[in-house]
Every structure is written in structure tokens, then in C-alpha cells.
Chains A and B, each alone.
Chain A
Amino acid sequence: MLAYDPATNPLNTNEWAFPLCECVHIAAFAFSIGMIGLVDLRMLGLGLTNRSAAQLMRDTEIWILLGLIAVITSGLAIFTSDPVHYLHNGAFQFKMLALVVAILFHYTIHRRVNGAAVAIVSIALWCSLVLAGVFIGFL
């Protein structure tokens, strides 16, 4: 490891900083994954059925991108508070793998192919991230 002492990290010295990062993280994932969910629901024939899934994807893509940037930035900040703990946490390792797969899926297949199966895979991938995120705290 580089000479980095987490004890000097503002997230560990200021009692407000860590929960605030978590709030940004949760608000941003609600925002971005929620918008992806809106497209998934449309692919399943629910919600904004007066627009095509492709149209809805175009409507929401800038908001999804902004949300994902905020969720990853806040996540990175949380990670720096105790990198060694997170790297050794099985749920965290799974979450990072799921994150890479979910983002690759979203920016490749999810954007191009419209179908119920694509929507279900997308929902399952993002839910697995939430599940892993919750379990980080229980392991």
C-alpha cells in the first residue's frame, strides 16, 4: 500500500462526513437505478407505455449518467475511509464485480436490445448490487 493512513481521512475525523456520503450514495443510486428501472418497466409493458423503450432511454440517459457519476464518486469516497476492510469483504468484492457487469450490460445490450428478458437481467443485476451493498455491513 502507498503511505496512506485512513485515520487522517476527513470521513473518519468528521462525524457528519461519512453519513452524508452515504446519503448522497443512496439518493444518487435511487435516482440513477430508478431511471434505469423506468426503462426496464417499459420493456415489460408497464409505466410510460406511450413512449417506446428506446425513446425513454434517450429521455433518461443524461440523468442516468449524472446519477451514476454521483453514486460512484460517493462510493469511492466511502471506500477510502477503510480500503483494507472493504477489499477483504466478500460482499464488497461481489459488489464490484456486479457493478462492472451491470454497467457493461447497461451501455451495451440494454441500450440496444428491447425485450422482457433484457429488462429482467437489468433489474436482477442492479438488485444484486443493492443486496451486496447491504451485506457489506453484515459481514
Chain B
Amino acid sequence: MSIASISHAIQSTGLATYVRESELLYPMIMTTHLACIALFGGLIAVTDLRLLGVIMTNTPAQDVIARLRPLKWAGFVIMITCGILLATSKLDEYYPNPYFQIKLSLLALVGVHAWVFRKSVYRRSAPASGTPAKLAAALSLLLWTGILSMGRWIAYYEPPK
């Protein structure tokens, strides 16, 4: 079974077909995806700017991280769900798209990032500061900007005829 046939089978499921063919649902899911990018992006930006020491410096970074964690998870789950619905509805076009592949790779790197900095920054009980915190924040901003940009570029790929 090839990737092409698997992706075609996924794209042909009832839900994916319904999303693709619906004139209203598709843009609505895209709007929800983008609105969550705004919410989630704002939360990421605040956390990273705090780790960089440029915002809310009178509140411990640990406090900002802990209080925003549930909201970040909520935003992330809705954003990813919408993203999966959008991608699977046109998976034949998406899976060979290099920008889509880069986007997924960068998302995997987000997981690596969270794992690498888990002990030194994100789950640390003592205040997170110094080089690991700043490095984690800078890489996070870079990764998410990359993911967002690749997401936009998906629409500009022209497959070879």
C-alpha cells in the first residue's frame, strides 16, 4: 500500500469529503484554525517574552508558564483538530506538498523542544532564567513563526505537471 493510496483513502472518508465539499464548513474551520493561532500565538508570545525578560518582569516566569498552561493546551488541541480536518480533506494535494512536509517536521521539533527544555525551563520549580530560558524562548518563537509561514506557503506550491 503506497502513501498515495493511504492518503486517498483518508481523503475519501465521509468526514473528509464533507469538509472538502462544504462551502461554509471549510472556511469556518479555517477561521477557527486562525482564531486559535491568534489565541495560542498570543499565549506563546507572552510566555516567550517573559522568559526573555522583556515583559511582566515583576511576575516569576514559572507563574506565567503554569497559569497559561491549561489555556495553551485548549488552544493547541482546537488548532490541531481544525488543522487535521483541513489537511485530511485535501490530503492528496497536501502530502506531496513540500511546505506541508516542512510544517509537520517543524511541529515534530516543537515536541522535541518541549522535551529538551522540560526540566531546565518549563517544569522547573525554581525561577527559570539565564541561558536555557532565553534559548528556549528564542527557539520557540522561531519554530512557531516557521510553522505559521509554512502553513501559508502551502497554498503557493504548484505540483509538477
Residues of A within 8 A of B (CB): 15, 19, 22-23, 26-27, 29-31, 33-38, 41, 46-51, 59-60, 63, 126-127, 130-131, 133-135, 138
Does B68 sit within 8 A of A, measured CB to CB? yes
Does B37 sit within 8 A of A, measured CB to CB? yes
Give chain B interface residues in 1-57, CB to chain A under 8 Å. 23, 27-28, 30-31, 34-35, 37-46, 49, 55-56
Q: Which 4 A-B pairs have the closest CB atoms?
A: A34-B42, A30-B41, A23-B149, A33-B38
Does B152 sit within 8 A of A, measured CB to CB? yes
Residues of B within 8 A of A (CB): 23, 27-28, 30-31, 34-35, 37-46, 49, 55-56, 59, 63-64, 67-68, 71, 145, 148-149, 152-153, 155-156
Q: How far is the CA of A33 from the CA of B38 in the complex (A)?
A: 6
Q: Tell me whether A131 and B56 are in contact in the complex, defined as CB-CB below 8 angstroms, given that A33-B38, A38-B43 are known contacts.
A: no
Report A-chain residues with C-beta under 8 Å of the C-beta of B34.
26, 130, 133-134
Report B-chain residues with C-beta under 8 Å of the C-beta of A23.
145, 148-149, 152-153
Q: Is the CB of A60 within 8 A of B46?
A: yes
Q: How far is the CA of A23 from the CA of B38 in the complex (A)?
A: 13
Q: Is the CB of A126 within 8 A of B38?
A: yes
Q: Tell me whether A26 and B37 are in contact in the complex, defined as CB-CB below 8 angstroms, given that A35-B45, A48-B68 are known contacts.
A: yes
Q: Tell me whether A50 and B67 are in contact in the complex, defined as CB-CB below 8 angstroms, given that A34-B40, A63-B49 are known contacts.
A: yes
Cross-interface CB contact of A138 among B27, B149, B155, cutoff 8 Å: B27
Cross-interface CB contact of A19 among B55, B145, B152, cutoff 8 Å: B152
Cross-interface CB contact of A34 among B39, B55, B56, B149, cutoff 8 Å: B39
Report B-chain residues with C-beta under 8 Å of the C-beta of A31.
41-42, 45
Q: Tell me whether A34 and B45 are in contact in the complex, defined as CB-CB below 8 angstroms, given that A27-B145, A50-B59 are known contacts.
A: yes
Quick one: closest B residue to A137, CB to CB? B27
Q: Tell me whether A37 and B46 are in contact in the complex, defined as CB-CB below 8 angstroms, given that A19-B156, A59-B56, A135-B27 are known contacts.
A: no
Q: Is the CB of B38 within 8 A of A29?
A: yes
